[in-house]
């Protein structure tokens, strides 16, 4: 009887709240008016990026006539009580621009520590504290440091090319092909090891050993994406997941601590003159320890651990998904696009690379600087990142005190709003009627148009919360993609099979299998 009464009270409360909601005229799924359970169910299903796009298409073509701003219902839809997804390009600067008062939504809490005294760059919702902590490590991601890391990327790119030559020579020309996403994650994870602690994790050599770590990363992301919808339960639920041996976050914590310990052991054995010396060592951890040595009151052991954990936890999935997205779109047959006359996108890119190589204008492996001078390569990279950005949930923000006007609606303070990168990147007002298609030329035909589209390109986030490792990821992409395209031909193992993905915050490819063969001279 008590449970029945409690249920009735909750139902009446939610119904009354929905009826009195000043934004009740904004459309959305029926159950999303009353409970976050609708949103959780869709996130759990693993394809919310598609659901999100479909919501805007559905409610954009059928506006609510009773709404005072009926002509603007398409750009804003409800996904939960007090939570809205936006498609409006002009809202980006308001929500995510530098100096904005919008703060990260409660969803992010489930991706971090349940300890209220522990903060990291990704999940910290306090703008000032985030800014202060970001300044501590910002120089490690600067262009100067980036060039210091490049020899690591060159080294591993050579190794990856050699591995693919082995795979091609032993006959990947089978119905199954190779799991491209897995191999690219092995590359990205080894790379983050080289850059962060000065040593690869060995997954290119032993890809089968990666499954424990990759499974732990996946478990962490699945937990974060789903528990984030009801983030108030994170503190409670995290206690149980911590007890599970080898669970997502606990495994990542242990793995990171082990890598730092290995680094420290190596330094202890090294000559004293080379210890913690950025002139002789160029990995992230060595540089970070140098900063700690210079500013012991500003950089703590917790800061060192947190920065390394962020690199290791976020540095492989995002880059491997981006690499996979770019290569997938380069490989598929573009004959449906009448404006394109060449056989495939990667053939067009091969032509650009071959011409530059013949003139001696690019190295092997290509340098990051040389890669920036190749317009078609950069257009392909940008277009791949546009069509398959790593993140697939709205980047939620809390409307600040005093409220804000978004899509012509006055949105009260405390409301949660967000733009999903997948939704914005398929906005036809910004990217054209062919926004669903892979057309690298859109970035090359008109500099003014390219600059305009760039304002709404949000693969790495926007404003002060832009991914701090953006340039490292772009360097890896800019060096590996051209090397693979120069030396290999790719075709999908099952060209008629639709690409499958799973959205656990990052939208990971599941069946991206390719047949790899050496290019014929």
Does 365 sit behind a cis peptide bond, omega within 30 degrees of 0 on the bond before it? Answer: yes
For residue 174, what pLDDT band results from cuts at 50, 70 and 90? low
Question: What pLDDT band is residue 181 in, cutting at 50, 70 and 90?
Answer: very high
From CA 382, how far away is CA 457, in angstroms rounded? 9
Helix (H) or strand (E) holding 491: strand 488-492
In whole angstroms, how large is the CA radius of gyration of the chain? 24
Q: Is 26 among the domain residues? A: no
pLDDT over threshold 90, residue 413 = yes
Q: Which helix (H) or strand (E) holds 416?
A: strand 416-419
Q: What is the pLDDT of residue 337?
A: 42
For position 340, what pLDDT does the model report?
A: 43
56-88 burial, b if ≥16 CB within 10 A, otherwise e? beebbeebeeebebeebbbbbbbbbbbbbbbbb
Residue 509 lies inside a defined structural domain of this protein: yes
Q: Would you say 467 is a known binding-site residue?
A: yes
* Phi, then psi, of 411 in degrees rounded to 5: -105, 120
Q: What is the pLDDT of residue 65?
A: 43
**Both tokens of residue 279?**
């002139």
**pLDDT tens, residue by residue, 5-34:** 665 655 665 666 655 567 888 999 999 999
Q: How many CB atoms lie within 10 A of CB 249?
A: 23
Mean pLDDT of 152-173: 86
Domain extent at residue 330: 134-389+425-518
C-beta of residue 365 within 8 angstroms of C-beta of residue 154: yes
Q: Is residue 38 situated within a structural domain?
A: no
322: nearest Cα among 276, 385, 263: 385
DSSP run (H or E) holding 518: strand 513-518
Range of weakest confidence among 32-46, 66-80, 219-233: 66-80
Q: Is residue 60 part of a domain?
A: no
Q: How many domains does the chain have?
A: 1
Q: For 54-129, where are the E strands, in sequence order? A: 76-80, 83-86, 103-104
What pLDDT, in 10s, does the model give residues 307-351? 888 888 888 899 999 999 999 999 885 544 444 444 467 778 888
Give the DSSP letter of residue 129. Answer: H
Of 42-46, 171-175, 324-328, 512-516, minimum mean pLDDT range: 171-175
Answer yes or no: is pLDDT of 63 > 50.
no
Q: Is residue 397 a part of any domain in this protein? A: no
Q: Work out the percent of the chain whose per-residue pLDDT is above 70.
A: 85
User: In this predicted structure, what is the pLDDT of residue 118?
Assistant: 84
Q: Measured between alpha carbons, how far is 63 from 73 in angstroms, rounded to an integer?
A: 6
Higher pLDDT, 449 or 519: 449
Residues 6+ apart with CB under 8 A from 20: none
pLDDT in tens, 195-252: 999 889 999 999 887 778 888 899 899 999 999 999 999 988 887 776 665 567 777 8
Identify whether 138 is part of a domain: yes
Ramachandran category for residue 83: left, alpha or beta (phi over 0 → left; psi -120 to 50 → alpha): beta
How many Cβ atoms sit within 10 Å of the Cβ of residue 215?
13
Q: Does residue 305 lie within any of the structural domains?
A: yes
CA–CA distance, 204 with 156 (Å, rounded to integer): 9
Predicted TM-score of the model (pTM) = 0.91
pLDDT, mean over the chain: 86
DSSP, residue by residue, 359-376: TT-S-SSPPHHHHHT-HH
Q: What pLDDT score was predicted for residue 276?
A: 40
With a pLDDT cut of 90, the percent of the chain lying above it is: 53
* In a domain? residue 84: no
The answer to whether 416 touches 343, Cβ cutoff 8 Å, is no
CATH code of 223's domain: 1.10.630.10
Predicted pLDDT of residue 259:
83
Q: Could you tell me the pLDDT band of residue 138, with boundaries at 50, 70 and 90?
A: confident
Q: What is the average pLDDT across 351-366?
A: 90
Amino acid 279: pLDDT: 41
Q: Residue 354's CB: how many other CB atoms inside 10 A?
A: 14
Nearest to 210 by CA among 183, 192, 191: 183
Assess whether pLDDT exceeds 90 at residue 491.
Answer: no
pLDDT tens readout for residues 266-322:
666 655 444 444 444 578 999 888 888 888 888 888 888 888 888 888 888 999 999
- 513: enclosing H helix or E strand: strand 513-518
For residue 262, what are its two tokens?
Answer: 């290995």
Q: According to the model, what pLDDT value does residue 273 have?
A: 43
């Amino acid at each position: 009887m008590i449970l029945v009464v409690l249920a009735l009270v909750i139902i009446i409360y939610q119904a009354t709240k929905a009826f009195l909601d000043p934004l009740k005229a904004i459309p959305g799924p029926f159950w999303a008016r009353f409970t976050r359970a609708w949103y959780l169910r869709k996130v759990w299903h693993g394809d919310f990026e598609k659901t999100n796009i479909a919501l805007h298409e559905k409610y954009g073509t059928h506006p609510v006539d009773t709404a005072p701003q009926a002509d603007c219902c398409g750009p804003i839809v409800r996904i939960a009580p007090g939570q809205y997804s936006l498609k409006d390009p002009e809202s980006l600067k308001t929500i995510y621009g530098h100096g904005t008062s919008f703060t990260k939504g409660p969803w992010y809490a489930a991706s971090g520590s349940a300890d209220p005294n522990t903060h990291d760059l990704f999940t910290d919702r306090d703008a000032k504290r985030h800014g202060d902590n970001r300044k501590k490590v910002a120089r490690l991601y600067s262009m100067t440091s980036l060039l210091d890391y490049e020899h690591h990327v060159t080294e591993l790119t050579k190794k990856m090319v050699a591995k693919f030559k082995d795979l091609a020579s032993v006959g990947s020309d089978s119905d199954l092909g190779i799991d491209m996403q897995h191999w690219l994650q092995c590359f990205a994870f080894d790379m983050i090891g080289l850059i962060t602690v000065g040593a690869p994790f060995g997954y290119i050599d032993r890809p089968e050993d990666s499954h424990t770590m990759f499974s732990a990363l996946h478990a962490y992301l699945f937990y974060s994406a789903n528990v984030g919808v009801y983030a108030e339960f994170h503190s409670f639920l995290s206690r149980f997941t911590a007890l599970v041996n080898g669970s997502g976050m606990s495994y990542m914590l242990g793995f990171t601590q082990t890598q730092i310990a290995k680094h420290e052991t190596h330094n202890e054995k090294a000559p004293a003159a080379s210890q913690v010396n950025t002139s002789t060592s160029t990995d992230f951890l060595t540089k970070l320890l140098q900063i700690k040595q210079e500013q012991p009151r500003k950089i703590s052991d917790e800061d060192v651990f947190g920065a390394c954990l962020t690199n290791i936890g976020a540095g492989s999935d995002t880059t491997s998904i981006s690499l996979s997205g770019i290569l997938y779109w380069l490989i598929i047959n573009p004959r449906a696009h009448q404006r394109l006359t060449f056989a495939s996108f990667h053939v067009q890119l091969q032509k650009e690379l071959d011409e530059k190589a013949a003139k001696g204008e690019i190295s092997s492996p290509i340098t990051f600087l040389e890669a920036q001078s190749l317009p078609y390569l950069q257009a392909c990279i940008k277009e791949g990142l546009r069509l398959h950005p790593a993140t697939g949930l709205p980047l939620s923000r809390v409307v600040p005190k005093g409220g804000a006007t978004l899509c012509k609606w006055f949105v009260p303070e405390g409301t949660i709003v967000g733009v999903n990168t997948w939704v914005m990147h398929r906005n036809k007002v910004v990217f054209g009627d062919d926004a669903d298609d892979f057309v690298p030329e859109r970035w090359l035909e008109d500099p003014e148009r390219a600059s305009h589209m760039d304002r709404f390109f949000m693969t790495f986030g926007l404003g002060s919360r832009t991914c701090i490792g953006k340039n490292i990821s772009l360097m890896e992409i800019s060096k590996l993609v051209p090397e693979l395209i120069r030396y290999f031909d790719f075709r999908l193992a099952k060209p008629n099979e639709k690409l499958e993905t799973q959205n656990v915050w990052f939208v990971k490819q599941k069946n991206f299998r390719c047949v790899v063969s050496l290019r014929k001279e």
